[in-house]
Structure 1
Amino acid sequence: MFAQEQLVVYPAQGVGRVDRIETQEIGGCEAEYYIVRILSNNVTLMVPVENADNVGLRPLCSGNEGTEIIKSLKDRSDFTGYSGQNWNRRYREYSEKLKSGDLHDVAYVLKELMLIGKEKELSFGERRLLEQAMGLLTMELAHALNKQPDDVKHDIEDLFQDVLQTEEKQ
């Protein structure tokens, strides 16, 4: 169970704060809800307490896990290169990973798209997924590592500087 004021992560939305826990009657059924405010856009979500696990609501990653995520972004050994895979299939796969709420999956999508961008120009949809992954990752890592989101974003971009320079030349 989460506590009031606790930072949590809602899949595909990002870091939020549990503003309160309240009981409401909806459709004739009374239930407890987490009222979560997403920090990046001030959207408020009502998440049934008993369904929080099913929707993927989870605690913020630890500082150690955040550091491991940064290390995983540096490691290029698992990237086999752009395979020419059907964009629709790749888009679905990456979208599912972002919706999973798993920070490792979000980091995977970010790294893959940054590295694919080195080999070919990203489509509009790919750039949107990249922006979404960057936003989700930077917000959570900023809170976990006690840094500003812009500083985390800059740190991540530095890891892919060779990729960004290639894109600028195209």
Structure 2
Amino acid sequence: MFKVNELVVYPSQGVGKVERIESQEISGATADFYIVRILSNNVTLMVPVSNATNVGLRPVCSVRTGQAIFESLKDRSEFTGYTGQNWNRRYREYSEKLKSGDLSDVAYVLKELFLIGKDKELSFGERRLQEQAMGLVTMELAYAVDRSQDEIRDDILDMFKDVIDNDEENGEEEQ
């Protein structure tokens, strides 16, 4: 059970704050709802208390988990390189990972897309997924480790500086 003013994460939406818990009568039955305001865009969600776990509502990760996520982003040993997999299949797989709400899955998508971008240009959809993953990871880590989202973003961009620099060099050669 979450408390009022507690920070929570809603899958694919990001960090929100439980503003209140209210009861509403629907079809003759009373149900309790978390009223959650997503901090990045001020969207308000009504999440049934009884279904919160099923939809993936969870607390913001711990500092320890946040540090582990940073380490997983740095670790490139699991990346096997761009395998020529169809971008559409990758897009569906990565979209599912973003919807899962699991921060390690979201960080995986972010890292994979940075590293794939080193070998080939990302499709428009993949770039959007990369931006979404970056927003979700930086927002949650910022709250978890008590730093600004911009600082977290800068740290992640520094981790992939070699990939980003290579990307920019390739872009300049084409022009």
| Structure 2 equivalent of residue 52 of structure 1 | 52
| Structure 1 equivalent of residue 66 of structure 2 | 66
User: How big is each residue's C-alpha offset from its partner over 1:55-91, in whole Å with a ceiling of 9 and x where there is no partner?
Assistant: 0000000001000000000000000000010111111
- How many residues align structurally? 170
| Structure 2 equivalent of residue 147 of structure 1 | 147
Stretch of structure 1 that moved more, 20-29 or 64-73 = 20-29
| Structure 2 equivalent of residue 81 of structure 1 | 81
Query: What TM-score does the superposition give when structure 2 sets the normalisation length?
Result: 0.96
Question: How many percent identity over aligned positions?
Answer: 71
Distance 2:6 2:142 in 1: 15
| Structure 1 equivalent of residue 127 of structure 2 | 127
Distance 2:32 2:9 in 1: 19
Give the alignment's Cα RMSD to 1 decimal.
0.6
In structure 1, the residue corresponding to 2:35 is in which secondary structure?
strand
Superposed, 1:1-170 pairs within 5 Å as 1-169=1-169, 170=171
Q: Which runs of 5+ in 2 are unaligned?
A: none
Query: What TM-score does the superposition give when structure 1 sets the normalisation length?
Result: 0.99
Moved over 3 A (4+): none
Q: Which runs of 5+ in 1 are unaligned?
A: none
Distance 1:166 1:37 in 2: 39
